[in-house]
Structure 1
Amino acid sequence: MAPVSIDNAKCVLVIGATSGIGRALALAISSLPSHPTVIAAGRRQDRLKELQEKNLETLQIDVTADLGSLKQTVESLIVKYPNLDAVILSSGIQYMHDFKKDVDISQVIREINVNYLAVVSLISLFIPHFLKLSAEGRPSFIIPITSGLGLLPSPLVINYSASKAALRSFTTSLRKQLEDTKVNVLEIIPPLVESELHDEQGTTERLSKFWMPLDEYTKLTVDGLRKGDIHIAAGRAAEVLEKFEKGGLNGLF
């Protein structure tokens, strides 16, 4: 399938848009010359209100809700926005676990639920709509946000790395399954980026010495989306991806 630019999208949903990368991408995409409708989705109503004031559409959603509730939300969204043709899945949480000590398994389960199972569930709910667009000759986009840690894991965030590796594997196989359609499966692969993700465990100050500034990262990512790159990586993640691909694993499919 030839590369298709996000500039072709008429209506873009960003799930996890109330902070960090998701918020930055939602705002940047809304400013593209193609002027797509952008729907910012997330849990925090106060953050959504702030995005409404920046002329974005908004949707309150909890990605950990039961499948029936998610299905109802997606169906209602498609009725309201029949031109919806792109979804970026940015929701994510991260914990540190040391298996030499006591591990909070509830946190392990929550990470897998938010970072992998919820993303796969939401993708499955959008695919019928996107396949319908494909049958009409219209392109669409499914764009999970994984992580460079899905390629080269960190022992400090052992389960987060595993959840992102699982999502990378799923994304690669999904792209293969949909290759004869107009559904474009792209993958955003961030390095360590300026984010609130690290606040909960108090690592923000230490990591801020190493992370890529959010503004710089956002520009590089939007550039990749506009080029229609299948893998949109930057910084350290781009270096790791290049080494990964040179290992020949990209030839499996």
Structure 2
Amino acid sequence: MPSIDDSKCVLITGGTSGIGRALALDIAKLPSHPKVIATGRRKDRLDELSAAGLQAEYLDLSADTTALKKSVDDLIARYPDLDTVILNAGIQHQVKAKDGIDMKKITEEIHVNYISVVAFISYILPHFLKLSEAGRPTFIVTVTSGLAVVPLAAVANYSASKAALSSFTLSLRAQLAETNVNVLEIVPPLVESELHDPYGTTEALSKFWMPLDEFTRLTVNGLREGRATIADGTSKALVEKYNQGKFEAVMQGRKMTEKW
């Protein structure tokens, strides 16, 4: 089964902090020594990653899809061996319906967490299919959340955006099942992260979250094993309880609609 050990060049979005940064640094240490491109918006963090031996590239996923297409095309031109993308970047806002829903934040969250990811996939896919036809395995890895399975009311739209991405990932995996383009999904539980700092919930959540180094170790192991769905900790229990047989059902639906 193909695994990340087969990758020659790995790009990670949201690579300047948290899960993305940890994965970038650990993947760069694999015995296969892939080239790792960490992307993000913070120049100081990008400089640190560059000093650590990684390729560091500016990428703004909040930009419109036209600008994103140009960025992806430029990345492919600069890194023609690019064969793996880990689409990790995301933002999270709290939603308090009784206080009024901030549609600007809703739109931003949906754009970064879902639309930009789908757009990135659509722009990188022709390159991956070309490699696939030449016999090269490629990997599209989305990062969703345990909240895609069971939402958390306080972050209602974040949960919805991750549920949308999880659904899209399953359908994409079904559509590309006969190619060398492997579609994987990382389903993190609550993980040690800066994501929670803006709302002052870090101290409270730190009593429950999975340490970042533990999550990274388990996730890299899952990528090396070529697991289609990489879910550990509390997310593993949720996926096993609620998602059992879901992909098989998606494949059955695909077969029913092949003549459409």
TM-score of the pair, normalised by structure 2? 0.94
Aligned mates of 1:159, 1:245 — CA distance in 2: 20
Aligned mates of 2:106, 2:63 — CA distance in 1: 17
Aligned mates of 1:144, 1:251 — CA distance in 2: 19
Matches within 5 A, 1:34-45: 34-45=32-43
Alignment partner, residue 139 of structure 2 = 141
Amino acid in structure 1 at the alignment position of 2:248: G
Identity between Structure 1 and Structure 2 (%): 58
Task: Find 1:201's aligned residue among 199, 214, 219.
Answer: 199
Flag as ranges the 4+ runs of structure 1 deviating above 2 A: 248-251
Q: Deviations over 1:25-81 (max 9, x none)?
A: 000000000000000000111100000010000110101112222111111111111
| Equivalent residues, number | 250
Gaps of 5+ in 1: none
Aligned mates of 2:188, 2:68 — CA distance in 1: 26
Aligned mates of 1:72, 1:224 — CA distance in 2: 32
Amino acid in structure 1 at the alignment position of 2:142: P
Identify which range, 100-109 or 224-233, moves more after superposition: 100-109
Task: Find 2:46's aligned residue among 45, 48, 51.
Answer: 48
Amino acid in structure 2 at the alignment position of 1:151: V
Alignment partner, residue 180 of structure 1 = 178
* Partner SS, residue 100 of structure 1: helix
Alignment partner, residue 93 of structure 1 = 91
Alignment partner, residue 130 of structure 1 = 128
Matches within 5 A, 1:4-83: 4-83=2-81
Aligned mates of 2:74, 2:105 — CA distance in 1: 31
Q: Deviations over 1:79-132 (max 9, x none)?
A: 111110000011111111111222211111111011001111111110000000
Identify which range, 32-41 or 105-114, moves more after superposition: 105-114
Aligned mates of 1:245, 1:76 — CA distance in 2: 37
What value does the CA root-mean-square deviation take over the aligned residues? 0.9
Identify which range, 224-233 or 76-85, moves more after superposition: 76-85
* Partner SS, residue 16 of structure 2: coil
Amino acid in structure 2 at the alignment position of 1:217: F
* Partner SS, residue 99 of structure 2: coil
* Partner SS, residue 184 of structure 1: strand
Aligned mates of 1:72, 1:92 — CA distance in 2: 20
C-alpha deviation, 1:154, in angstroms: 0.8
Aligned mates of 2:57, 2:196 — CA distance in 1: 25
Gaps of 5+ in 2: 252-260
- Does structure 1 residue 165 correspond to structure 2 residue 163? yes
Alignment partner, residue 256 of structure 2 = none
The answer (yes or no) to whether the contact 2:170–2:247 under 8 Å persists in 1 is no
* Partner SS, residue 239 of structure 1: helix
C-alpha deviation, 1:245, in angstroms: 3.2
Amino acid in structure 2 at the alignment position of 1:37: K
Amino acid in structure 2 at the alignment position of 1:73: S
